[in-house]
Structure 1
Amino acid sequence: MRREWERELGSGGWIGLGWECAEGAYGNRVGSLTQQVVWAEEYARVRAPGRVGHIGENLLAPTLIAAGDEAQRRRFLPAIARGEELWCQGYSEPEAGSDLAGLRTVAVRDGGGYRVSGQKIWTSLAGEADWCFVLARTDPGERRHRGLSFLLVPMDQPGRIEVRPIRQMSGTAEFNEVFFDGARAPHVVGGEGAGWRVAMGLLARERGVSTLVQQIGFAAELAAVVAAAVRGGAVRDPVLREQLVRQWAELRVMRWNALRTLGAAGDAGAPSVAKLLWGGWHQRLGELAMRVRGAAAALGPVDWSARAPYELDALQRLFLFTRADTLYGGSDEIQRNIIAERVLGLPRLER
């Protein structure tokens, strides 16, 4: 149903409003920054279906516009704009999560393309995606960020690509392990060896208008926690009441910070500051969701006919999922290093 919804959005030109290209060049509308914010916030406010095309629309497409060639843009952008092809991101590995330059996935030339072998982890949408952009080492003689390439890999390669869902403690499996065994990669973006530059450019685009959209969802979750505090009487506790007010105030600060930095080209620290703000805030909200309910937070409605003794409710899932907020997308420690080194000019961390 969500894939059908992507195609419905694409038929109206509503995918790719933020792409920096000529109006309608790839079947998309082009909106000003203000129009993008209005569209995204209203979409979130009416609780429209969750988007499964985010990675292709907001990460890969701007990267191809900036670093790809025209043949790659013509091949991939119209399909993304129509909502027909979904993408996943092949960055993190078991031994190279936040330390992306330490990755071990390799790719060797094979005719006009490459063959990729290695493992990626925490890959969102890998089981549903049609394509994956993969950062791999194409020059084994280089180390760290040198000798890497940004490759585009079709996921429909039986026997060459295996996807294993990762079951989380919340019971869901949004993330996956992906194993590549000589998988074909017919496209390289930006040229061989330019992978680190292309990948860092993509990460710089990862936050922006989507941060404001995310905050609409945060506001709805905060409202649910407040409602639970009112129903259970926890709002009468002055300490909990102060914590609820603090969460509300910090959410407003996040919005003002996002608006202040939106479209600020070249601000190397803006994405890291945003991630630090929302990651910690969302995790504290999950903890507060349990605190306002007291001992009852550990219980759920019992259904003895079910295979499990009970199902998690929304606030319990919120608490369990937010344990990862300060890790995925770049851990807090990595974000602080980026701010220290690239913004404040402090000495680089010795490795």
Structure 2
Amino acid sequence: MDFKFSPEDEAFRQECRSWLEHNIPHDWRDDEELHDPDTREEFERRRAWHRQLYDDGWMCIHWPQEYGGRGASLIQQVIYNQELDRAKAPPTVNFQGIARVGPTLMQWGTPEQKQRYIPRIPPAEEIWCQGLSEPDHGSDLAAVETRAVDRGDHFLVNGSKVWTSNAHRADFTTLLCRTDPDAPKHKGLSYLLVDMKSPGITVRPLVQMTGESGFNQVFFDDVQVPLANLVGEKNRGWMVAMTNMMFERTIHGGRTDMMVEVRQLTELAKKVDRGGHPAWQDSYVRQRLAGFACEAAALKYTSFRQLTSQLKGLPPGPEGSMMKLGTSGLNLRMQDFAMELLGPYSQLEYQASGAIDRGKWSHRMLAARRGTIAAGTNEIQHNIIGERVLGLPKG
């Protein structure tokens, strides 16, 4: 088994790494993630970074060249993601559009839809969110109650979506809605493109325990959506939605290098005091960190298994659920251990005066729980592994 990348891919890595080293904003290097993402100022700051990536050919690299991408291979997409993680690059502002909406429209969109929407996604001229999850239905994506009634030249939409990331900034949303209420659960669904400025749309922020409100609940009250905004066939939107989710899995391949977090936690252990000496000198602390490093390495090679399957053209396997469980669980345990290392300093809030590393560890600890819920709860992932891999009966 050969884990080395080809000379061509390593050259691509060095090109990407060099560009990031010369272009990541210096104020971001100083503060890492210590910026309030809810402010308009920070959003525009990230949009400017997004545009810089785009202008220099480092945005949508996995897209075909005919749509403005570089036509990068899956291996190169993984390398690109690894280098973004390694450099702790600032976030961009149109993830949903790039990872899901654009590729989905390439496959399912009409020529008019492709021409109208796709070119504005890479430069972040139009921001996208997605309307999938609904209140009271957890991770059951097909339990759609939002209704879209065909009125001839438009759909009339009523309902609500929840956990909608960036809805408060978005210009458009995709919307999975029910167009045939008498059809079975996964049937009778349609996939629409909706202008977020349409009359009848209300966006309400959901404040997290970090104090941030990037998630939202979106209400649709007699919202008119042109019939031309239907993607794919009416009542067959589940197929389009599954295409959307498949693209998400592909772009996420190899994105999380947990060793980056392990190294940062190690630096914290060398910085804080434990019994009158740096915590790093304590064998218990080093043992815990070594355990985290072993888990991070195991996740890395599990991601390579997932990558190998994709390179062979195979559909996503159980590795996706294993990666989601492994990364979210490891991250949660590492942030808990950071609180243990900080001792009484762990009580200082994010960016509080006197907080070690400006309180980023307390912020990460509070944020870590959402990773066990997002993209399908860990309970759902356990069920997938139990039923589809281990062959256990459904509970």
* Separation of aligned partners in 1, 2:214 and 2:230: 27
SS of the aligned residue for 2:255 comes to helix
1:224 and 2:273 aligned: no
Give, in angstroms, the shift of residue 200 of structure 1: 2.2
CA offset digits 1:263-294 (Å, max 9, x no partner) = 25313423222211111111111111111222
Q: Quick one: which amino acid aligns to residue 258 of structure 1?
A: S
Q: Quick one: which amino acid aligns to residue 190 of structure 1?
A: G
Corresponding residue for residue 20 of structure 2: none
Which residue, out of 130, 138, 142, partners 1:97? 138
Q: Quick one: which amino acid aligns to residue 282 of structure 1?
A: N
Corresponding residue for residue 174 of structure 1: 214
Which residue, out of 62, 66, 72, partners 1:31? 72
Q: Quick one: which amino acid aligns to residue 261 of structure 2?
A: E
When residues 91 and 326 of structure 1 are mapped into structure 2, their CA distance, relative to the original with a 3 A threshold, is same
Corresponding residue for residue 16 of structure 1: 60
Corresponding residue for residue 287 of structure 1: 336
Q: Quick one: which amino acid aligns to residue 62 of structure 2?
A: G
SS of the aligned residue for 2:121 comes to helix
Are 1:26 and 1:74, in contact at CA under 8 Å, matched by a contact in 2? no
Corresponding residue for residue 78 of structure 1: 119
* Separation of aligned partners in 2, 1:327 and 1:27: 34
1:138 and 2:206 aligned: no
SS of the aligned residue for 2:176 comes to strand
TM-score (norm 1): 0.87
Which residue, out of 259, 271, 288, partners 1:243? 288
CA offset digits 1:198-230 (Å, max 9, x no partner) = 222322222334342332xx4333323222222
Deviates further, 245-254 or 5-14: 5-14
Deviates further, 105-114 or 39-48: 39-48
SS of the aligned residue for 2:256 comes to helix
Which residue, out of 294, 315, 319, partners 1:270? 319
* Separation of aligned partners in 1, 2:122 and 2:376: 28
CA offset digits 1:273-328 (Å, max 9, x no partner) = 22111111111111111112223312357659xxxx9x971000010011221111
Q: Which stretches in structure 1 are left out of the alignment for 5+ residues?
A: none
Corresponding residue for residue 249 of structure 2: 207
**Greater helix fraction, Structure 1 or Structure 2:** 2
Aligned pairs, number: 338
Corresponding residue for residue 66 of structure 1: 107
CA offset digits 1:160-185 (Å, max 9, x no partner) = 11111111111111211111112233
1:297 and 2:346 aligned: yes
* Separation of aligned partners in 2, 1:205 and 1:345: 27
* Separation of aligned partners in 1, 2:260 and 2:316: 30
Q: How large is the Cα RMSD of the aligned pairs? A: 2.5
Corresponding residue for residue 50 of structure 2: 6
Give, in angstroms, the shift of residue 45 of structure 1: 2.7
Corresponding residue for residue 261 of structure 1: 306
1:318 and 2:368 aligned: no
* Separation of aligned partners in 2, 1:235 and 1:143: 58
CA offset digits 1:36-78 (Å, max 9, x no partner) = 2333322333333211111111112222223333332222221
Percent identity of equivalent pairs:
38
Give, in angstroms, the shift of residue 125 of structure 1: 0.8
Deviates further, 182-191 or 6-15: 6-15
Corresponding residue for residue 129 of structure 1: 170
Q: Quick one: which amino acid aligns to residue 374 of structure 2?
A: Y
SS of the aligned residue for 2:150 comes to strand
Give, in angstroms, the shift of residue 343 of structure 1: 4.4
* Separation of aligned partners in 1, 2:358 and 2:215: 19
SS of the aligned residue for 1:172 comes to coil
Give, in angstroms, the shift of residue 331 of structure 1: 0.6
1:338 and 2:384 aligned: yes
